[in-house]
Chain A
Amino acid sequence: MMVDDKNKKKFDNPHYAKREVIGPDGKSFIVDPMNDYFCDARPKVHEPNIIPAVEKFLNWARSKSLWVLGFGTGCGSIEIPPLITPRFDVFRFGIQMRPTPRQSNVFIISGYLSVKTLKRVIRSYEQMQNPKYVLALGSCTVNGGMYYDSYNTINRLDYYLPVDVYIAGCMPRPEAIIAGFNKLKELIREGKGEGANLYAKNFDWYKANQKKIIKDWNMPDYNW
């Protein structure tokens, strides 16, 4: 079928192929981008500190450092600029935006999530540092919202990523998002912000769900 040829072409991308390259010093070496650039080790469960008081202190400290990845998926991303500007100013709660997943630990899924975006979201989520948290905005992430019967948007986010806090609304106001952040802080202080561990524990289930809808899976299973 025509569609199969289409995908075949994508998987045979020459940038991903294993090949021999001659370096500037004249020596040749093997390059295998899929294995060299990514670590395909499975995620590990991070055990809490054996001293409860230390773990409690760490959780308190974690709740004070929420660094949000600047990634807008749906219409809710328009609610983020008022949050970080003087009117609502979440910086006073210790929350700030970062441009790259390596520097952040909170992922805001802001609204509907198409399958194409989900692929990018998974890659970004897996590159974030542990412990990491997911905030899901709007009714689209809860049950699909007004896109419940769409061919291209997911219905339940918690089948693909571990969600810590849902913020209902279409769209939630910045006040609601601040309330959601406060709820997330409470959860972290109580030691319930275990999204990354949940993801590591149920890794196979999450991967099966993700691969069910992402048909052209051309990336490593876990690209930390």
Chain B
Amino acid sequence: MKSLIDKLGKTFDIKDIVYQRPNLAFVTVSKEHVLNLITNLLDYEGFSHFVLLSCVDWIEDNAFQLTYFLNNPTLKIDIAVRCFIDRNNPTMTSAHHLWKQIATYQRELKEMYGIDFPGSPGVDENFVLEGWDNIPPMRREFDTKKYAEETFFPRPRNKTNDPKEYMKSKMYPND
């Protein structure tokens, strides 16, 4: 694993290397180099299995973190390639030409975070939310509780008693 990362480090500007397990490492590269790196991993290092593409909203740093998770089935090792993209202009190069299923992940990210992947097949179509007209719901500034209370007719909660106080008032009313 370490030799692989060292080898990649000669070609790419890799930062923040985390060896999570002997067979799993996280690396961070800049937004422009992600596709070059995962294409390299696919073509020359045998990472032929694409596991997942996920997103984390770092609202304090004004960034979205994308993680491309790749697996090498022969060596049984995983590598996760991270990159940070600007939160105000969330656009990323589409990677659907490498693995077809990435188009579905990108469609979901478009809907849930509003990250655009120009050219990805069906990226503008509805995925889970049909006719959503609010800010993307997985963004952290979206107040899901407030939205649910305004939209879904919450049932009034039953009155509950603190057991200690309630039993005290029942058993020792004069105290």
Residues in A lying within 8 Å of B, measured CB to CB: 1-7, 10, 114-116, 119, 142-144, 148-156, 159, 209, 212-216
Residues in B lying within 8 Å of A, measured CB to CB: 124-126, 128-133, 137, 142, 144-145, 147-149, 151-155
Inter-chain contact B144/A151, CB cutoff 8 Å? yes
Inter-chain contact B144/A159, CB cutoff 8 Å? no
Task: Output the nearest chain B residue to A6 by Cβ-Cβ distance.
Answer: B124
Inter-chain contact A148/B148, CB cutoff 8 Å? yes
Main SS class of interface, B: loop
Q: How far is the CA of A149 from the CA of B150 in the complex (A)?
A: 10
What residues on A are CB-neighbors of B147 within 8 Å? Answer: 151
What residues on A are CB-neighbors of B145 within 8 Å? Answer: 149
Check A149/B133 contact, CB under 8 A, given A155-B154, A213-B151.
no
What residues on B are CB-neighbors of A149 within 8 Å? Answer: 144-145, 148-149
Inter-chain contact B154/A151, CB cutoff 8 Å? no
Q: How far is the CA of A144 from the CA of B153 in the complex (A)?
A: 10
Interchain nearest-CB distance for A209 vs B (Å) = 7
Inter-chain contact B132/A150, CB cutoff 8 Å? no
Q: What would be 12 A-B contacts, judged by CB atoms less than 8 Å apart?
A: A7-B131, A114-B128, A144-B148, A148-B148, A149-B145, A151-B144, A151-B147, A155-B148, A155-B155, A156-B154, A209-B153, A215-B133
Q: How far is the CA of A144 from the CA of B154 in the complex (A)?
A: 8
Inter-chain contact B152/A156, CB cutoff 8 Å? yes
What residues on B are CB-neighbors of A212 within 8 Å? Answer: 151
Interchain nearest-CB distance for A7 vs B (Å) = 5
What residues on B are CB-neighbors of A2 within 8 Å? Answer: 124
What residues on A are CB-neighbors of B132 within 8 Å? Answer: 3, 215
Task: Output the nearest chain B residue to A4 by Cβ-Cβ distance.
Answer: B133
What residues on B are CB-neighbors of A119 within 8 Å? Answer: 130
Inter-chain contact A152/B126, CB cutoff 8 Å? no
Interchain nearest-CB distance for A190 vs B (Å) = 26
Known A3-B132, A151-B137, A152-B129; 5 more pairs at CB < 8 Å: A6-B126, A114-B128, A143-B155, A149-B149, A150-B144
What residues on B are CB-neighbors of A152 within 8 Å? Answer: 128-129, 137
Q: How far is the CA of A215 from the CA of B152 in the complex (A)?
A: 13
Check A116/B130 contact, CB under 8 A, given A152-B137, A209-B153.
yes
Task: Output the nearest chain B residue to A7 by Cβ-Cβ distance.
Answer: B131
Interchain nearest-CB distance for B131 vs A (Å) = 3
